[in-house]
Amino acid sequence: MEELELKYLKSLANQYPTIALASTEIINLQAILNLPKGTEHFLTDIHGEYEQFNHILKNGSGSVRGKIDEEFGNTLSTKDKKSLATLIYYPQEKLEIVMQEEENIEDWYKITLHRLVQITKRVSSKYTRSKVRKALPKDFAYIIEELITEKAEIQDKEAYYNEIIHTIIRLGRAQEFIVALGNLIQRLVIDHLHIVGDIYDRGPGPHIIMDTLRQYHSLDIQWGNHDIVWMGAASGQLACIATVLRMSARYANLDLLEDGYGINLIPLATFAMDTYADTNCDSFAIKYNTDYNTKDLSLDMKMHKAIAMIQFKLEGQVIMRRSDFKMENRLLLDKINYEDKTVTVDGHTYPINDVDFPTVNPKKPYELTPEESQLMERLRQAFTHCEKLQEHIRFLFAKGSLYKVYNSNLLYHGCVPLDEKGNFSKVNVFGREYSGKALYDVLENYARKGFYSTQDMGEKEKGQDIMWYIWSSPNSPVFGKDKMTTFERYFIDDKESHVETKNAYYRLLDDEDTLNRILREFGLTSDNAHIINGHVPVERKNGESPMKCGGKLLIIDGGFSRAYQGKTGIAGYTLISNSHGMRLVAHEPFESTESAIIKESDIFSDNTMVETSAFRKNVAGTDIGTELKESIHQLESLLRAYREGIIIEKGV
């Protein structure tokens, strides 16, 4: 036995000091391998729509309702099933309504508690008792374990269980117990959550979503371009800060920054009122909903224009100091002809609808005015010292990455940059060329330096600029278009200039050779491997399918954001992967949480099976299973060492 292996086994012996303990653990792990694999839930492009996100999280994209159907079949009416599902999703809120409507609340408690216990038994059946025990709410852990665990030694089990429930009701604890069971069912029905990018921007509540995710029991996140720009802003990168502010202004979400994160926007408002008081801001309309207070419209438009002009300047500064980004074609402020009111973009000259730029010096168009510089420094301090924002971004870094390989699935938000022949694009990053997986790795490494580094400030600044690059570069895996035409959409009426050409990846989605090449690049060779990504909304109303190449690739952005729903015709796709296979769920637009509770309305409209397994998949076929097999191998080596006298048992 090699010295290194012996050293490891001696360390393992501290945890399992006897043959009996090591044997017991092997038996336990071997048994776990044969349990059904846990259910995985995939969501993407949430874009701040926290109410819809919260509902889908609670219903597990129909998984809770599926368990109700499995358990009760035709013994419950559709109405009773809907009521039970709503109670599980929103136990506290639904109880308030029930208390007002039910005449015999004690009978309702008895029936409901029995039904909830049955569902809890079903959703916990695929887990070990130890795992279920860890998920149990502290106040009711013992009681729930008694109710969901068979007691073979008890002759009259029905009387035993009935008495437990009767006593819960008699002691006035029924409501709290129902809430505990509802939350437990939600937790157990989904084993692991994948967020495939774009939590931020457009919708009003990304901060609420982040708070929810921080409490979730098991998840990973693949960063989207809208996430990465917030990550850059939190690191102090000025162009990212300006972009976040511009997007928030454009979608009437400045309250998110002020109320959600406590970032003081009075300096920006004061600057905009003073500098843009008599300026034409017609091109900077606000996209607002019915909750928006239109009395703020004029000021918000001024703030919108003020920060947009600062953004264009700051982006120009990044492009000029990072020549290896090769984004000089996005330097447009110096291409404006103020006399002719035109701008030249990629060799084409277009009329421009606005040249009223009080802060732009035509001779030095990318230079901030002293007032703009002072404003941005105050905003930088506000972003970098905002405790809640910093907590959220640290969570994104801790749980997130640009890609994830998980259970034979490759998850990323946008695309793998390809040329027209399907080869991996070679991208220069600070003097070295990268492509495929290596490109993802180097960009992620620099992003982490940009946020965390405290020693090498040069590397930190590179990392901060890389986060802006990931947000908007044609070579970015999470952007995937030849340019971001923000300037053109504000100032040029000719829509020809607005076109953003997608990377060749999107023209090769049905090419099996290309997709297999991508999967191999990330270490996946299985015929059952899939690529799962979002970023580009699937226009279902025009007949587009989220399944590409026979289901090898799945694009699950179907319009979670209200801004896209007119284009897609639905309110998003989600994906469920369980021991039986994979299914896509299409969601109807979400009215409101209140409607979901009162009307007992759900929002999944139909399911599409992507893949069905002839036999139930078990833990052995998962990544966790691979780890457990390795643990079993090491424990068996420890057993041999005990039996051969190489290592001596302790405490025998």
Residues 398-449 have pLDDT tens digits of 999 999 999 999 999 999 999 999 999 999 999 999 999 999 999 999 999 9
Task: Encode burial over 529-556: b for 16+ CB neighbours within 10 A, e otherwise.
Answer: bbbbbbbbbbbbeeeeebbbbebbbbbb
Residues in the chain: 652
- Spatial strand order of the sheet with 530-533 comes to 403-406, 409-412, 530-533, 553-555, 547-548
**Angle between helices 157-170 and 174-189 in degrees, nearest 10:** 120
Answer for the pair 144, 180: CB distance below 8 angstroms, yes or no. yes
Give the Cα separation of 215 and 444 in Å (integer).
Answer: 25
The residue type found at 115 is R
Answer for the pair 476, 390: CB distance below 8 angstroms, yes or no. no
Answer for the pair 409, 551: CB distance below 8 angstroms, yes or no. no
Answer for the pair 135, 144: CB distance below 8 angstroms, yes or no. no
Give the Cα separation of 245 and 113 in Å (integer).
Answer: 49
The DSSP secondary-structure symbol of 589 reads P
Answer for the pair 613, 606: CB distance below 8 angstroms, yes or no. no
Give the Cα separation of 151 and 343 in Å (integer).
Answer: 79
Residue 184 in tokens: 């437990």
**358-363: long-range pairs with CB below 8 Å, 24+:** 358/275, 358/276, 358/279, 359/275, 359/306, 359/309, 359/310, 360/309, 360/313, 360/333, 362/336, 362/338
Strand, coil or helix: 611: strand
**Angle between helices 238-250 and 457-472 in degrees, nearest 10:** 30
Give the Cα separation of 157 and 143 in Å (integer).
Answer: 15
The residue type found at 109 is Y
Q: Are strands 547-548 and 432-434 parallel, antiparallel or unpaired?
A: unpaired
- The helix or strand, by DSSP H or E, that contains position 310, with its residue range, turns out to be helix 297-321
Q: DSSP letters along 425-484, please?
A: PPEEETTEEE-HHHHHHHHHHHHHHHHH--S-HHHHHHHHHHHHHHHH-TT-TTT-BS--
Of 650, 652, 637, residue with least CA distance to 5: 637
Question: How confident is the model at residue 563, as a pLDDT?
Answer: 65
Answer for the pair 406, 227: CB distance below 8 angstroms, yes or no. no
Q: Are strands 547-548 and 530-533 parallel, antiparallel or unpaired?
A: unpaired
Of 526, 528, 559, residue with least CA distance to 542: 559
Give the Cα separation of 363 and 366 in Å (integer).
Answer: 9
The DSSP secondary-structure symbol of 278 reads T
Residues of the chain with pLDDT under 70: 1, 151-155, 540-541, 558-559, 561-570, 603-605, 651-652
Give the Cα separation of 524 and 293 in Å (integer).
Answer: 51
The 3-state DSSP composition of the chain as helix, strand, coil percent (nearest 5) reads 55, 10, 35
Answer for the pair 592, 569: CB distance below 8 angstroms, yes or no. no
Distance of CA 470 to the CA centre of its chain: 17
Q: DSSP letters along 511-539, please?
A: -HHHHHHHHHHTT---TT-EEEE-SS---
Task: Encode burial over 500-514: b for 16+ CB neighbours within 10 A, e otherwise.
Answer: eeebbbbebbebeeb
Strand, coil or helix: 641: helix
Give the Cα separation of 448 and 471 in Å (integer).
Answer: 15
Q: DSSP letters along 118-179, please?
A: HHHHHHHTTS-HHHHHHHS-GGGHHHHHHHHS--TT-S-HHHHHHHHHHHHHHTT-HHHHHH
pTM score, two decimals?
A: 0.93
Q: Angle 448-453-458 (CA atoms, 0-180°, nearest 5)?
A: 105
The DSSP secondary-structure symbol of 369 reads P
Burial tier of 39 (Cβ tally within 10 Å: 0-12, 13-18, 19+) = buried
Answer for the pair 642, 19: CB distance below 8 angstroms, yes or no. yes
Q: Who contacts 458 (Cβ-Cβ below 8 Å, separation ≥6)?
A: none
Answer for the pair 605, 61: CB distance below 8 angstroms, yes or no. no
Query: Is the backbone of residue 550 left (phi > 0), alpha (psi -120 to 50) or beta?
Result: left
The residue type found at 51 is E
Residue 452 in tokens: 């965390």
Burial tier of 639 (Cβ tally within 10 Å: 0-12, 13-18, 19+) = middle
Give the Cα separation of 573 and 378 in Å (integer).
Answer: 40
Q: Who contacts 211 (Cβ-Cβ below 8 Å, separation ≥6)?
A: none
